[in-house]
Chain A
Amino acid sequence: MRQFFDLSFRHKIPLWGGALIVVSAVAVSGGLIFRAYEHLKQDLVISSESLGYTLANTLFPVLLHDDAWRAFELVRAPFHEDRPEQPLEPKAIFVVDRDLKVLVSSMPRSMPLLAELGSLGADYSQLAHALAAANSDVAGVYEFPGSDHLYVTIPVAEKDERLGTLVVTHSKHVFLPRFYGFALGGAGMGALVLAILLPLNWYWGRRMAEPLVQLAHGMSEIVHGAPADLSPDLYSFSDELGQLFAAYRAAAAEIRQKSALEREVMQSERLAAVGRLAAGIAHEVNNPLGGMLMALDTLKQRGPLDPATARTVALLERGLQQITETVGALLVQARVQARALNRQDFEDIHTLIEPQATRKALQVAFDIDIAESLPLPAGFVRQVLINLLLNAIEATPPGGRVRVDARESDGQLALLVANTGEPPPPEILAHLFEPFVSGREGGHGLGLWVSYQTVSQLGGRIAVECRDGEVRFLIHLPLRSEAPALTKVGAGATALETENPT
């Protein structure tokens, strides 16, 4: 039983509703059928009594004068041999005298004149007993258990003179089929009602249960901080359930926003920590590196070296040069630049990347809608944009599209760099702005790191999203009226130019 109550609403509502509908349909049909039986019997008795009284009044003088044939014609009158049996038509009509002998009968073959009623079979024997015991001055209705007949008895009397009793016999064989007809009709109606209501109930139950089930599922996910967004189409009405839905959706949206914010904060913190670590390491590596390169230089200037040593020195020099470049890339330091960003910068960038784009037959679209001049350091923005555009061109298959949007809104410059390339896999996407994470073969993965660091230093945000078949990088840079003040990346990072990131 407990298990039943623990069932999902998805099953419980249709089951409960269905059970209620079935019970009501059966109860109503049953009630109607029972009433039909009673009505039928009542109709039968009323019709019989009416017929009986008419006959009894007419028969009285006829029987008084012992006109048996006329009496027979009278009791035969209600019968129509050439008509099929009618439900209310009696099976037989007969009159017995006060000694219960047959005076006249519509079925003289089975009820001969003057025969004893009690000797005419079990049914009539029961009736004879009942009539002998009853007050035969009033009409009566008799139904004996196990008998197929219903008897309506009417006294044949005028004032105090009573000649006998008229009996109208009905066969239940005739009226039962009619009753079964009624019953079948009632049951049919019940079945029809069920056929209509059960599917409706099922549909309605599912309709009610589905949002509840989804809601319950969503609620249980709130604990994990990632509640699913339920479609407003699931339940679009504004009743209590609808209000619950609206509240859930509002709460879920808030929770999702909050956790997204938390993730962003965590990521920037992680990136900042990585930045500090990288800068610290680069700083520590940079000083001995300078000394080593200086020492090698000095060694070469001292005089000719034997060829083997010269090759070794060259090897060392190239290795150290590579370390220098790498460390240089790690140490992102925005230099103070006085020149403000203007529209010409975007045109320059367009011109710069055009050859690469043309090689891959890419469409490049620039949609620049900004003021002539913006209070942002032109060099940094150009560096970030070129960086992102080269990445985009690299990631876009031949024949694809790359576009750049620039908009000013709410005191911010919003930049968009989008390409129609394959989106990076999720595991890469989550660490896209960390150093040495590369989505492609060959790159060392510092380009986006540098862009991120640069944007962060300018107080802006950079994010990536995959939408409408595009990979989009969104950059928001706050516009300040005063000249941009540069912040250092992390503590202890030294200024090091990164004009040419890869």
Chain B
Amino acid sequence: MSNQPSLPSIEELPDGNGRRLFLRAFTASLGAGLLGANRVAAQTAVTQTFRVGLTPAFVHDQHALMADWRRYLESRLGVTVEFVPRNSYRESMDLLHQGRLDFAWLCVYPFLYLKDLVRLLAVPLNQGRPYYRSYLLVAADDQRRNSMADLKGAAFAYSDVYSNTGYLVPRYQVRQLGEDPNTFFRKTFFTWSHRKAVEAVAAGMADGAAMDSFVWDTLKQVKPELTGRTRIIGASPEYGFPPFVAHRSVSASDYGAMQRVLFGMQNDADGRQLLERLNLTGFIVGERRLYDGVVTMMRAFGEY
């Protein structure tokens, strides 16, 4: 790999020095030469494509926002970025299995499920902290149901079989009540997205649903008329926020480049604007033990 400069990245260098120092604090464990990684990223710009899997872990169907974010990443990385949105975690997991995604923003559950296939890349900051919860929802006009126990015999909407907050958490909560989650509800079904879980409750299709607090909070800003038709009757303990992961085949330099760009978003105006639209405050390195709470639940169901 030569030191041959590549226009988009080199231009950022003077500005990037301070950022590099800042990033070094978070990325010390990587042990990679940042400057070198940067050169690699710059050099590969001509040919390389980063395929980034997007899942319903966040409000992933805001198409204009996705396009802006993609252009931002491309300009900072100097590579072509291709977003690969999928409506179920299963599909994104399959793509990772097949090595067809380089990076992905996954839910906690798939991240843990995939184990060594993926590496933790960055954890988004939700209100400045890398945590989120599971909300338990009922219809806004349903005054009768105020806890999970009240939902016995109800129709319940899960978001995804591989969702933490939309599947694992509510089943765990039912189990905590001493009930069998397979018989506790009259009827359960999957909506394959948190947002649609809100819709299911709002329409009355489901009596209750559990979902990602971050998605709900974001939706509350984007579509208040939808969230306004639902009511939160319970919030789970905090879990580590759905992480950005890299496929294990991603080179250290690409890994570092992607990480730096994500970490650097809060440091420039365009990045901050995008973060604001994503309802995030930034990205940090994060650690696997953030997700210990989820591991506990998975073990309870014999899935880890």
Contact = CB atoms under 8 A, between A and B. Distances in A.
Contact of A114 (B187, B192, B200, B203): B187
A113 interface: yes
Contacts of B203: 72, 76, 108-109
Given A69-B191, A69-B196, A114 B204 contact: no
Given A69-B157, A69-B196, A113-B155, A108 B190 contact: no
Given A112-B155, A113-B155, A72 B205 contact: yes
A198 interface: no
A76 B196 CA distance: 13
Interface in B187-237: 187, 189-192, 196, 200, 203-205, 207
B204 A69 contact: no
B189 A69 contact: yes
A123 to B, nearest CB: 19
A66 interface: yes
A109 B138 CA distance: 13
Nearest to B187: A113
B71 interface: no
Contacts of B191: 69
A113 B188 CA distance: 10
B28 to A, nearest CB: 45
B187 A108 contact: no
Interface string A47-71: 0000000000000000000111100
Nearest to B200: A69
Contacts of A68: 187, 189, 205
A449 B186 CA distance: 133
Nearest to A103: B187
A119 to B, nearest CB: 15
Interface residues of A, number: 12
Interface residues of B, number: 14
B192 A69 contact: yes
Interface in A280-303: none
B183 to A, nearest CB: 14
A107 B203 CA distance: 8
Contacts of B189: 66-69
B137 to A, nearest CB: 15
A114 B186 CA distance: 8
A68 B187 CA distance: 9
B192 A113 contact: no
A329 B176 CA distance: 157
B200 A72 contact: yes
A109 B207 CA distance: 9
Contacts of B192: 69
Nearest to B190: A69
A494 to B, nearest CB: 135
A112 B185 CA distance: 13
A109 B196 contact: no
Contacts of A112: 155, 204, 207
Contacts of B190: 67, 69
Nearest to B186: A114
B205 A69 contact: yes
Given A67-B190, A68-B205, A109-B204, 7 more contacts: A68-B189, A69-B157, A69-B196, A72-B200, A72-B205, A112-B204, A114-B155
29 contacts: A66-B189, A67-B189, A67-B190, A68-B189, A68-B205, A69-B157, A69-B189, A69-B190, A69-B191, A69-B192, A69-B196, A69-B200, A69-B205, A72-B200, A72-B203, A72-B205, A107-B204, A108-B203, A108-B204, A108-B205, A109-B203, A109-B204, A112-B155, A112-B204, A112-B207, A113-B155, A113-B187, A113-B205, A114-B155
